[in-house]
Amino acid sequence: MGVFDGKKILIMGVASERSIAWAIAEALHREGAELAFSYPNESLEKRVRPLAEQLGSRNVIRCDVQSDSDLQNLFNCLEASWGRVDGLVHSIAFAEKEDLQRRFSETSRAGFHTALDVSAYSLIAVCGKLARLFPEDGGSVVTLTYLGSQRVVQHYNVMGVAKAALEASVRYLAADLGEQGIRVNAISAGPIRTLAASGIPKFKEMLGEFGDKAPLKKPLTTEDVANVALHLLGPASVAVTGETTYVDCGFNIMGI
């Protein structure tokens, strides 16, 4: 028997088989969870749907998190097919490439709005919609963040501000939804070669610095992050909420 036998969990943010969200999905599937997946547009549907089918998922739902109608449709689909949701993995973030390349002081108003909307508000919006689908004994929400929320990381720019907002949202959602037994936590993962990371300028240099300074002299993998996600989604962490857990081989503790 798996730890997640009979549990129904929504995965948001798979972009490819190298995604952290995909590693979490595979780990949940091995432990018996039934999964649903969302995708934001037709281009990503072509990647997400075949991956979801590998894990036997019949719920592959379009959801552009900037669309209130898409968010409502996500709720409607899950209510109709499942009737409840036990967990949510939120691995969604976006910033315009130009706003990552230019000086932070030159961030565009539209770019700032987009980064905050997609990367932070989306967690609030999805939790607001799905809270009614969680069972009486609650459930768990896990989102993905990064150290750039707390420290200046070159070229991370507006995404760092968005991740800071995401982490604050985790705390406020944890307080707001705690009476329903819904736990909300974040994982701050170190740099990993993913599709999303490829959009960050000088990512290779960032990865090299991580390898030099992290106390645990090992490459970080998506499976490392997935193992911690399983802990936060599962019964072993029933008294943990509102936290940001670092999975970065100890890089965050180091000074200059």
Active site residues: 146, 156
**Helical residues (DSSP H) of the chain, grouped into ranges:** 20-30, 42-54, 68-81, 97-101, 109-116, 122-130, 157-177, 203-213, 222-233
Ramachandran bin of 32, using left for φ above 0, alpha for ψ from -120 to 50, beta for the remaining angles: left
DSSP-derived letter for residue 16 is S
DSSP-derived letter for residue 14 is -
Nearest to 209 by CA among 144, 149, 153, 150: 153
Residues 6+ apart with CB under 8 A from 175: 242
Q: Do residues 231 and 243 lie in contact, with contact meaning Cβ atoms separated by under 8 Å?
A: no
